[in-house]
Chains A and B, each alone.
Chain A
Amino acid sequence: MNRLISTTSALCLMAGAASAEGTLSVYHWFEYIPQELVDKFTAETGITVTIDTYDSNESMLASLKAGKLGQYDVAVPADFMVEIMAETGMLDTFTAEEMPNLPNIAPQWLDVPFDPGRKSSIPYQWGSTSFAVNRGVYTGDISSLGIIFDPPEELRGKINVLDSQNEVLILGSLYLGVPQCSTDRTQLKALSDMLVAAKQHWASFGSDTAKDVMVSGDAAAGMIYNGFSAKARAEGANVEYSYPKEGHVLWMDNVVLLKDAPNRANAITFMNFLLEPENAAAVTNYAAYTSGVSGVEPFLDEAIRTSPENNPPAGAAPGVFAQVCDEDTQKLYDAIWINLKK
């Protein structure tokens, strides 16, 4: 109780001191930044941080479109969403002089296709999406996406898939060897049929519950983000994450500077803060993904640094980023998704 009171009063004092330096309004994924890191930022800079959360790239985009643009300073969209937001004119740009820690970005993430030359975004965390299997239920080979799309007897009816069109359709395409944004009738028909046939073996669709169902045992296998799988393992679930031979989905979440940010300077201070290796490592230690910043290794927890989820085995098939399809093509994929969930 005493500690609670002292923490609260410390926070109040901090807030009092901070209000002089201004505020920062962050639009972020749920459960994706450790509170200690936010407190550290406030202590270092005196800037008070308010965080609103979202549960999908699309819901973030929708609320910004519905009038929230201009209320937030930064958001954390995935790679393809950075591209979409840039195209729609939702992003502001910064200069290299404003962001002294820009060179801390790991070389392979400096010049990325979704933000050439890093003018509006910095890396937050990156990771992969494939699937995990409860080894207590199934001990066989899990090197193929067939575990999800043509599951063995033991796993039928015990599979959770992400409730996300992008991930389900891309992993399905990888399984069938169909390219993304295909307009080929035979390929799309095959993809749709394969998914509908696979669905009878699925127990549930859920993205934010993807980790919990593996921990609770509601699902024995599930499409999952690598960090979620690592967290499930850390929470005691006997799960193994697979880097399937057909490939996996790669993604990178990025902190972007939003257009009409009410506290632009504070936003840049925050982004620069996140590019400090120690701070980037704090996020990684919390979220169990991988940082896009060089020099984080000394600050990483041993378990995170060496986790099988973050270190694909030698010879693993490469991951693919989600592609942004044009409107007519996207319509076809939307139709496949609606048909799958109708």
Chain B
Amino acid sequence: MAAPTPTTAPDSGASSDATYRSARVPLLLPTWLVIGFFLILPVALMAVYSFLTKEMRGGVIWEFSLAAYDQFFINRGLFGDEPASLEWTYISVFGRSIAQAATATTLCLLIGFPTAWFIATRAPATRGVWLFLITVPYWVNLLIRTVSLRFLIRENGPLNDALLGSGLIAEPLALINTNFAVQLGLFYSYLPFMVLPIYAAVERYNFTLSEAAADLYASRWVTLRDIVLPIVKPGIIAGCLLVFIPSLGAFLAPNLLGGAKNFMIGSLIEEQFKRSLGNWPFGAAVSMILMSLVLVLLLLYARSMARAEAR
């Protein structure tokens, strides 16, 4: 009775701990089921398939084989009897996809950051409207949006008609089936994934910090570089990852806007399952290699986040 408060506090803590401990398994079960069923199982299946023997025209034979990884990394010439050397074919496909995803990410960041900043600095009542406007186009299926873009930029499409009509150009621009078109498609597809996380970060930014910096004679640029960017960095990194990773495996934009002239990682994998190459272990191996790459990226991100928090 003398000191009820100090004793009850740790007690209640202990009891709630116990409550959670007894309920831990049922509480975690849904999460584990989701992770197990939708993540671990498919990835494990893919990992296993990548080490199996290819059955002609799709399917696998349940015999261990390294042929898929061998095909990816080792070149023995068309007839398979030349001395082994490093295979550049698939590495160059990865290089092209990575370069493309990086460009798309940069473009999205250049447009996405100011956009997010603009929205976050509006009056709270109108922010919702701006966010709503950003998401409206994404109610439409990605395939349909990509095809529509095709219609817009084709040689006798509305964009060229408008430019020709205004006298800005004399000849229609050849936009379709170019890298520019692919970039445009990726940029358009993934822009909100950049805007939304950055917006979330900027919205929480305390603007009095900028005022304080200005009071201390920091230029706008210095304020942005030393105050704003470090604070909203997690949002920027999250946005970059959300754009970069899906761009890496994208095949709708390269196929429909770029003319499908060169394999991207996505179309290379698709071809192994849905088309004539029909090599499932190889498709699985390419997916595994792609996933390992992405995983390394995510680990680097997690580490930089941990370091930032430690500071």
Q: How far is the CA of A342 from the CA of B256 in the complex (A)?
A: 17
CB distance from A100 to the nearest CB of B (A): 34
Binds B, one of A17-25, A162-170, A224-232, A252-260: A162-170
Contact A342-B92, Cβ < 8 Å, known A216-B154, A218-B155, A332-B78: yes
Contacting residues, chain A, for B276 (C-beta < 8 A): 56, 58, 164-166, 334, 337
Any A CB within 8 A of the CB of B218: no
Please tell me if B126 contacts chain A, counting CB pairs below 8 Å: no
Q: How far is the CB of B154 from chain A (nearest CB, A)?
A: 5
Q: Which of A176-201 contact B (CB under 8 A)?
A: 185, 188-189, 192, 199
Label chain A's interface by main secondary structure. helix
Give Cα distance in the complex from A1 to B293, angstroms.
Answer: 54
Which A287-342 residues have C-beta < 8 A from chain B? 327, 330, 332, 334-339, 341-342
Number of contacting residues on B, CB 8 A? 31
Whether the pair B263, A342 counts as a contact (CB closer than 8 A) is: yes
Interface residues in A203-254 (C-beta closer than 8 Å to B)? 203-206, 209, 216-218
| Interface size of A as a range | 35 or more
Instruction: Decide if B277 is an interface residue (CB 8 Å cutoff).
Output: yes
**Would you call B78 and A341 a contact (CB within 8 A)?**
no
Interface secondary structure of B, over-half rule: loop
B59 on interface, CB distance cutoff 8 Å: yes
Q: Shortest beta-carbon distance, A215 to chain B, in Å?
A: 11
Query: Inter-chain contact count A-B, CB under 8 Å?
Result: 89
Chain B residues lying within 8 Å of A336, measured Cβ to Cβ, are 78
Residues in B whose Cβ lies below 8 Å from that of A66: 58
Could you tell me the distance between the alpha carbons of A256 and B75 in the complex, rounded to whole angstroms? 40
Residue of B57, B260, B279 touching A84 (CB-CB under 8 A): B57
Contact pick for B275, options A59, A188, A218, CB 8 Å: A59
Is B275 within 8 A of A203, CB to CB?
A: no
CB of B259 within 8 A of CB of A217, answer no
In the complex, the answer to whether B277 meets A165 with C-beta atoms within 8 Å is yes
Q: Which A residues are CB-close (under 8 A) to B154?
A: 216-218
Whether A206 lies near B259 (C-beta < 8 A) is: yes
- Kindly state the separation between the CA atoms of A305 and B224 in the bound complex, as whole angstroms: 72
Q: Provide the B79-108 mask, 1 if CB < 8 A to any CB of A, else 0.
A: 100000000011011000000000000000
A189 to B160 alpha-carbon distance, docked (Å): 41
Q: Is B277 a contact partner of A327 (Cβ separation < 8 A)? A: no
Q: State whether A204 touches B156 (Cβ < 8 A).
A: no
**A189 contacts which of B78, B92, B259 (Cβ < 8 Å)?**
B78
Interface of A toward B, CB cutoff 8 Å? 56, 58-59, 61-62, 65-66, 84, 157, 163-166, 185, 188-189, 192, 199, 202-206, 209, 216-218, 327, 330, 332, 334-339, 341-342
